[in-house]
Amino acid sequence: MSNLPKKNELGFFEIRLESIGGLGANLAGKMLAEAGVLGLGLNGSNFSSYGSEKKGSPVKAFVRYCDPDVEIRDHSPIEQPHVVGVFHEALYKTVNVVSGLPADGIVLVNSTRDFDSVREDLKLDYGRLAIVDAMKIAHEEKTKVNTAMLGAMYRILDFLDPEEMRNVIRKTFEKKYPHLVEPNIRTFDRGYNEVEFKTYELPENAQGKEFTRPQPMLGYLTQELGGVITAQANSILKDLSGSRQGFLPAFEQEKCINCAACDTVCPDFCFVWEEGEDKRGRKQMFLSGVDYQYCKGCLKCVDACPVSALTDMSETIGYAEANRVAQKFPYVAGGRN
């Protein structure tokens, strides 16, 4: 008798992990597949999809399980997963994380918010929603989000054996990083115990989410002659907030001495300056605030600040928007400030 709770037409139970580079989704996918194969004797496969392979860029990890007598010959990206794990909430802004999810699918989200708020952002009509504060767990245990998410995932995938994942964690870390074995097992256990669920009633004839594959604006049929890209360079227009991993710098202007040490180490356009006069009437540039649109949460500015005018804080919903001081690039913005 099969251990798998559901199967698609090819006999697969499929999982898709949606994340950003740096949170360990690729490793989580490998460990999840390995534990299913070693623990239950299932056939399994894992692979990931990522672009520039840098911290903060979108990442997808795919896991397929099937019964031992079924061969896995399909290595295409998973378009209709039974379970989706969302490692970073900011992905909602740029990625349709629930694309292809069936009506009775399960979504696990790393979040501190309530179920209805997350459901509204996901545009999830029905199905099962699970929430765990994986960032808090990882911060307190000094580990990464991935093992907390794995713990929560194992609570969802109750056909898997948690003890087998603990063995995989030991095997993964004990040679190179033996000091990380016990913290990661604690992180896994906390994710397993602290995840919460809510089920939204499934009406009759409920339809799942249609899978959509993003298409480039300019392809071989629509590209200008000569391969000219008509859009201007867009680094200034990008919102980099999706790269933050739960922390950002908080600015206290009363403590600031306008030394520009923060701006010297900042890799982007985070710090906004305005011309003014000091107490003696001399011209000087004064730091007016942080433009969180460009802040990736690297916290180099916090380390560089000599007077603690910048301190690290756990990001809360709405803080960046409420405290942002916007840069002014009038030429790029078409004459607008």
DSSP letters along 144-185, please? -HHHHHHHHHHHH-TTS-HHHHHHHHHHHHTTT-GGGHHHHH
Cα dihedral: 37, 39, 42, 47 (round 10): -30
Which residues on adjacent β-strands are paired with residue 290? 271
Q: What average pLDDT does range 204-208 have in this prediction?
A: 77
Rounded to two decimals, what is the model's pTM? 0.79
Closest CA to 151 of 4, 142, 138: 138
Q: Is the pLDDT of residue 311 over 90?
A: yes
Report the C-alpha gap between 193 and 301 in whole angstroms.
Answer: 36
Cα dihedral: 65, 60, 110, 23 (round 10): 110
**Mean of all residue pLDDT scores within the chain:** 86
Q: For residue range 93-131, what is the model confidence (pLDDT) as tens digits? A: 778 888 889 888 899 999 988 999 999 988 888 889 999
pLDDT band at 50 (very low <50, low <70, confident <90, very high): confident
Yes or no: is domain 234-323 CATH 3.30.70.20? yes
- CATH (residue range 12-200): 3.40.920.10
Whole-number percent of the chain with pLDDT over 90:
48
Residue ranges covered by each domain of the chain: 12-200, 234-323
- Rounded to the nearest 5 percent, the helix, strand and coil shares of the chain are 30, 20, 50
Task: Indicate the SS3 state at residue 217.
Answer: coil
**Residue 15: both structure tokens together:** 């999982």
